Structure 1
């Protein structure tokens, strides 16, 4: 190994170490910051953005802050997939709007008010906005859409896990429909691949094998869903009758794989199960961290298939810390 290479490697390691020391700690930071690992120095962030060819996602936040600020940190900036999207696709920067010094300088630079509710701006490495400023909208959906828009504006492909997150956030008032078929494993794989379908669940109604379909009515009408089901030899069942789930058969194809050891959203489960049943690729449905976890799964890993997504995510993080 040449001395020049050793020196380059040493400088790289030291720069990464210094950068890590300048980030916030998701496990020991104010609730207003959520679970994102934020950088705090504007100049360092712009240098890093140029080096990595990334845009910068700036959170202007009151820390400590009012209930709106705390709720945004707890409900939006702590969602595991939003954290993934921010940390992997952008350089995250937090500016406290109730502090002096360098924070106050950046507030003035962007003409942001002090002691204000959360504001998000996505800027390029020159500090210019690439999408509209997010203010007075504290929803996860708005942030997700802005992330998508910024990636598209940069000429990048939006990762599928971010698109799935948007679908789930859009499907806040879903409808349900019930279809009977000769085999509900087949029913789940065929119905689950429809873009409007948010979840499928195998079960029984009057001893018939049935799939309960949760779907977004704004993306697909009931008539269109019925027509699709009929074309796949499925019959419509009155949804007022008693549906009895069959846990061992729900997402059957997924349950036969090591995906059961991963924290997955309901939509991820549905799409992965359908893809497995149809012999299609699956890993693109996962975030970068989920893909890493999939490679590290061991036989003694905890089954997380039926665990709440956020709780499962926390458990998986803790499990790997002990390895």
Structure 2
């Protein structure tokens, strides 16, 4: 019986006609079968802890979320998701909604709300209220306490960087503080990032000094042309290549600079030797982020952007290094967890 009913699932509809029909437009018999599926499923996983929902601790009642938002000022992070869902829905849950930094940001900076887009009852009422299509792929929306969109609705934002970027935009629009780690995560995943390789006398120093520069997102110790180098990924919207080269020169971490061939015109200087990146290889793991080694931060699990900034400041300004950690990481660093 369950096998027969599963033929009516959204995933099979996609295979047959490319996209499942709207829930409200289904024939009564088919609608009844679809709504019976969750209760007949053999899985012991509850919907709120389903793979498609990730590891966020979700609220499920819109009115409760709006009331909480009104009391705390935290925007509502509303995930409209198909549960049980297709492979893409599950991937979104595993990769985006289970990312440790995304999870902590959702739970501490927002009011989490999960709405099933393939169910009846209260979920269907919420879909209709906000004009969300049923049986749709995942959509994240941000509401204020009056149930108004804080930033415009947008579909097909299915990657960690894209979700982080919209979280930053929603917090900014709501005039809420934006955690440094969330800004870094959005930048780290951005397709606009560019890279440059700087040669210097010591890549341990290079990672520390270059990592302090605003606009530098990640650093990596490596070798090129038989020399120690530091590979930098930077955000050109924050710092231009000429500005980056000047900043690297000021901290004596730019004997030469190498960039992709397409960036050569913007890297011309009167003093430095400028070339293209060729033959670069990363240094061994025990040569990476050397400033963190031997400190309490060594036991933390850090994202690449977090590791870059913590490595840059942990030895000289621990208080600043803390700014790039989540509250949970700060507690762990202080031995509280």
Q: Same fold (TM over 0.5)?
A: yes
The residue aligned with 1:3 is: none
Which residue does the alignment assign to 1:43?
63
Corresponding residue SS for 2:56: coil
The residue number in structure 1 matching 2:80 is 60
Matches within 5 A, 1:143-154: 143-154=163-174
CA distance in 2 between partners of 1:213 and 1:26 (Å): 44
Equivalents in 2 of 1:186, 1:192: separation in Å? 10
Return the alpha-carbon distance in structure 2 between the equivalents of residues 143 and 207 of structure 1: 40
How high is the TM-score relative to the length of structure 2?
0.72
Structure 1 unaligned spans of 5+: 1-24, 298-319
What is the TM-score of this pair, normalised by structure 1?
0.75
CA drift of 1:212 comes to 3.0
1:192 corresponds in structure 2 to 211
Larger Rg: 2
* Equivalence for 1:139: 159
Partner-residue secondary structure (3-state), 2:291 = helix
Q: 1:171, CA displacement in angstroms?
A: 5.0
CA deviation string 1:18-53 (max 9, x = no partner): xxxxxxx99982111011111112222223222323
1:262 to 281, 285, 300: 300
Determine the C-alpha separation between the residues in 2 that align with 1:44 and 1:66: 29
- Residues 189 and 35 of structure 1: is their aligned pair in 2 closer, same or farther, counting only changes over 3 Å? same
Q: Is the 8 A contact 2:184 2:217 kept in 1?
A: no
Instruction: Pick which of 134-143 and 151-160 moved more.
Output: 134-143
Unaligned runs of 5+ in 2: 1-44, 258-274
2 CA distance for matches of 1:225 and 1:138? Answer: 31
Change (3 A) 1:203 1:71: closer
RMSD: 2.7
1:209-220 superposed matches below 5 A:
209-216=228-235, 220=239
User: Counterparts in 2 of 1:102-251, with a 5 A limit?
Assistant: 102-171=122-191, 174-181=194-201, 183-204=202-223, 208-216=227-235, 220-233=239-252, 234-236=254-256, 239-241=277-279, 243=281, 245-251=283-289
Q: Return the match for 1:282 from 306, 312, 321.
A: 321
CA contact (8 A) 2:47 2:83 kept: no
> What's the CA shift for 1:187?
2.0
CA distance in 1, matches of 2:142, 2:46: 21
Distance 1:278 1:26, change over 3 A: farther
Is the CA contact (8 Å cut-off) linking 2:199 and 2:227 kept in structure 1? no
**Matches of 2:100 and 2:182, distance apart in 1:** 11
Distance 1:159 1:84 in 2: 11
The residue number in structure 2 matching 1:15 is none
For 1:31, the equivalent position in structure 2 comes to 51
Count of residues in Structure 1 that have an aligned counterpart in Structure 2: 273
The SS at the match of 2:77 is: strand
Compared CA separation, residues 58 and 244, structure 1 to 2 (3 A):
closer
Preserved contact between residue 218 and residue 232 of structure 2 (Cα < 8 Å):
yes
